[in-house]
Amino acid sequence: MPIRTSIALALAAALSLGSSSPAWAQRRTHRPRRPTPAAARPGSVAVAPPTVATTEATPQARPTLDLGEVIPVPVSAVDGMLRRMRVYLVIAPPGSTAFGIGALGQGRRIWAVLPSCRTTNPDDDREPCPVDRLTLEAVIRGNVNSGTPTFLGGVADARRVQSFVVEQSAPRVRLRVLGPGDRVRYEAVVEADRLADLHPPEGTAAADGFTLDLTRYPAR
């Protein structure tokens, strides 16, 4: 065989052997490149992540309580409470001068029927003097004229009646029930014009006074 022909055959065999090698021999392991941080790349500018603005809620101011504010109570509620204490408010008849009310001037005329004040009895566990007297005073403006308790029948341990005249200019009235030693047992403020809702007295009018029907006003 000529030399050139044998060289050509050898080259062809070598090429055939190279093309038939396994596919894995031709593979190259490919590892992904990690991205270069922006701050590390030349000519790059680092950009901070976006921030979310938070707005704190403004605290709401709490309403302040005015301790000097006067809240009136319905006259019917006050009358009911006083009756449980055996105190009765009634409207004095027009023109009557009984129980000293004739000397108290003009205005809304009120009688207060009070329980008796008795001496201490060791055999009686009830309070001997649950109510000493009442006080009425005008709120905001105006005046209230008050009398001292009058004993019915002139007996020291009898029932008593106290008179009040509330001037028309007084918009509200503060009422206090006082026990011995001026101890406040009950207190309320009412609209003065609602005193007209009180009942007239039970009894008989006379030229020189007024006789109360005390059976309508139990004391104990």
Q: What is the CATH number of the domain that holds 184?
A: 2.60.40
pTM of the model: 0.68
In a domain, 51, yes or no: no
For residues 161 and 150, the answer to whether their CB atoms sit within 8 Å is: yes
In a domain, 47, yes or no: no
In a domain, 183, yes or no: yes
- Is residue 101 predicted with pLDDT exceeding 50? yes
pLDDT of amino acid 24: 43
In a domain, 90, yes or no: yes
In a domain, 103, yes or no: yes
Instruction: Pull the structure tokens for residue 148.
Output: 């001292």
> Pairing between strand 160-166 and 108-114?
antiparallel
Provide the domain limits for residue 106.
Answer: 75-119+127-215
> What letter would DSSP give residue 128?
S
Number of domains in the chain: 1
In a domain, 3, yes or no: no
CA dihedral 130, 132, 138, 144 (to 10 degrees): 140
pLDDT of amino acid 99: 95
* Chain segment 125-157, per-residue pLDDT in tens: 888 889 999 999 999 999 999 999 999 977 777
